[in-house]
Chain A
Amino acid sequence: MTVSDVVVTGLGATTPLGGDVASTWEAMLAGRSGVTPLTQEWAQQLPVRIAAQLAVEPSEVMDRVKLRRLDRSEAVALIAAHQAWKDAGLAPATADASAANAAGMDPERLAVVVGSGIGGVQTLLAQDDILEQSGPRRVSPHTVPMLMPNGPAAWIGLELGAKAGVHSPASACATGAEAIAWSLDIIRAGRADIVVAGGTEAVIAALPIAGFASMRAMSTRNDEPERASRPWDRARDGFVLGEGSGAVVLERAEHAAARGARVYARLAGAGMTSDGYDMVQPDPQGAGGARAISLALRDSGLAKTDIVHVNAHATSTPTGDMAEVIGLRAVLGDHMVLTSTKSMHGHLLGAAGALESIATILAIYHGVVPPTINLDDPEDGLLDVAAHKARPMDVPAALNNSFGFGGHNAALIFAHA
């Protein structure tokens, strides 16, 4: 039996740059920053008072009553997943049938793999306030399904009618990429024809920010929000927290061809490794990340020289950015054009790998690499970066890297269909 090719047929996102993929991509190509000051009262005591907040509030596109029972991370995941589903040319759910049924597909051949780095922490915090102030009887009966980390995937599975399995990887900032990697395995193993894969995160709240700030992981460039996320720049001082979700429809190539679906790109290969080095520090030589890239390259069957573009993890932290470059150079060489779109949309943690995969896929599809803004004073030994301006170029294949606290590494290679 030959292993199926897996292709990308749908994209969806709601991000700090836009409420959908088109507006997000347009903002990326224009080099716009989605980072703004946190003007909310709760933020004023924090050392970090900037973040990349959603461009379009879920309440603008979703029913009020439905939102009452969704954590913010679930709401954005549902928005992204429905966009991706529609973008793939699949029929929306109707009153009496799930989306899978309405699309005439076998629900038992549809899976969902969507994870989050932190889960429904905003629900946890809000309900804990209610518990403290008003007692246990006032705690919402929706609390548990809202805060459980599999909630976003479960909601998507429910609304699309997925019956081949609903899964939620959790690997911190590698989650979104891992979700796509696991989905590749699911389709190759013949367990599904379509997988809706992605990541979601919505933790712009005092406690998560205070926690990351205590680790000294975040930028405190509070006076210059748009300049705060600056991967590979010497003046970088940490990441900027972003929120949102990205989702992709992955499909067995024959299945996509049979229904005449538009194909954005092929998911050519994936590699996942663990550092075994430290809980939160990256291996300074980037060894674990490099092994993930090697595995993805071998899995893809492509040559190093085919990989001409890398959407890097590069979060704008002092140690991580250059460790990744060392790993990239060691495995692929020095011919690639890098970018870190986090310079614009911040770090979406568990959604990062999904959103950045979308950027990688669109770079291949449209033949243009989105820029890395704020790279005014690059580090020595850096590879070629599409600094400041988008770079039109033919991209036959590209790599998306993601690394997460816990020592998780996930590398994805996409290629022209």
Chain B
Amino acid sequence: MTSRAEITEGLAEILEEVAGVNPGDVAEEKSFTDDLDVDSLSMVEVVVAAEEKFGVKIPDDEVQNLKTVGDAVSFIEKAQA
């Protein structure tokens, strides 16, 4: 099991690598597109990297529901359970 904070930290690493997002800017309430400036192609990269990192499957039709970092954390937390 990974805690929400650990998942957020892991996502921050991915976001920095893929999209150059400052890890300090990554928080649960932040929107991927509006706050962190992650475009649609980079979001695909984030999802694939998150699957690998957290050992989960994030179906394509689920991605549109992951508006904020918190949405992604919740999905990953549930998928790991």
Residue pair A65, B20 in contact (C-beta under 8 Å): yes
Residue pair B20, A141 in contact (C-beta under 8 Å): no
A64 CB within 8 Å of chain B: yes
A281 CB within 8 Å of chain B: no
Residue pair A142, B48 in contact (C-beta under 8 Å): no
Contacts of B41 in A (CB 8 A): 69, 141-142
Contacts of A138 in B (CB 8 A): 48
B-contact 0/1 string along A110-140, CB 8 Å cutoff: 0000000000000000000000000001101
- How many of chain A's residues touch chain B, expressed as a range? 10 to 19
B19 CB within 8 Å of chain A: yes
Give chain B's interface secondary structure class: helix
Q: Which of A63, A68, A137 contacts B18 (CB 8 A)?
A: A68
| Complex CA–CA separation, A138 to B49 (angstroms) | 9
| Complex CA–CA separation, A66 to B19 (angstroms) | 8
Residue pair B19, A140 in contact (C-beta under 8 Å): no
| Complex CA–CA separation, A103 to B59 (angstroms) | 45
| Complex CA–CA separation, A69 to B18 (angstroms) | 9
A-contact 0/1 string along B36-60, CB 8 Å cutoff: 0000011011001000000000000
Residue pair B19, A141 in contact (C-beta under 8 Å): no
A-contact 0/1 string along B63-80, CB 8 Å cutoff: 000000000000000000
Determine the residue in chain B with the shortest Cβ distance to A137: B48
B-contact 0/1 string along A60-79, CB 8 Å cutoff: 00011110110000000000
From 3 to 52 in chain B, residues with beta carbon under 8 angstroms from any chain A beta carbon are 18-20, 41-42, 44-45, 48
Contacts of A63 in B (CB 8 A): 20
Contacts of B45 in A (CB 8 A): 140-142
Residue pair B20, A64 in contact (C-beta under 8 Å): yes
Contacts of A69 in B (CB 8 A): 41
- Cβ of A111 to closest chain B Cβ, rounded Å: 26
- Cβ of B15 to closest chain A Cβ, rounded Å: 10
- Cβ of A136 to closest chain B Cβ, rounded Å: 11
| Complex CA–CA separation, A64 to B19 (angstroms) | 10
| Complex CA–CA separation, A65 to B42 (angstroms) | 11
Residue pair A141, B44 in contact (C-beta under 8 Å): yes
From 137 to 157 in chain A, residues with beta carbon under 8 angstroms from any chain B beta carbon are 137-138, 140-142
- Cβ of A195 to closest chain B Cβ, rounded Å: 28
| Complex CA–CA separation, A362 to B25 (angstroms) | 48
Contacts of B18 in A (CB 8 A): 65, 68
B-contact 0/1 string along A2-43, CB 8 Å cutoff: 000000000000000000000000000000000000000000
Contacts of A137 in B (CB 8 A): 48
- Cβ of A390 to closest chain B Cβ, rounded Å: 43
Contacts of A140 in B (CB 8 A): 45
| Complex CA–CA separation, A245 to B20 (angstroms) | 26
| Complex CA–CA separation, A142 to B19 (angstroms) | 12
Contacts of B19 in A (CB 8 A): 65
- Cβ of B23 to closest chain A Cβ, rounded Å: 13
Determine the residue in chain B with the shortest Cβ distance to A64: B20
- Cβ of B32 to closest chain A Cβ, rounded Å: 15
Determine the residue in chain B with the shortest Cβ distance to A139: B48
Contacts of B20 in A (CB 8 A): 63-66
- Cβ of B56 to closest chain A Cβ, rounded Å: 13
Q: A68-B18, A140-B45, A141-B44 are known contacts; what are 10 more A-B pairs with Cβ within 8 Å?
A: A64-B20, A65-B18, A65-B19, A65-B20, A66-B20, A69-B41, A137-B48, A138-B48, A141-B41, A141-B42
The 8 closest A-B pairs by CB, nearest first: A65-B20, A141-B44, A141-B41, A142-B41, A137-B48, A141-B45, A65-B19, A138-B48
A-B contact pairs, 6 of them (CB 8 A): A63-B20, A64-B20, A68-B18, A137-B48, A138-B48, A141-B45
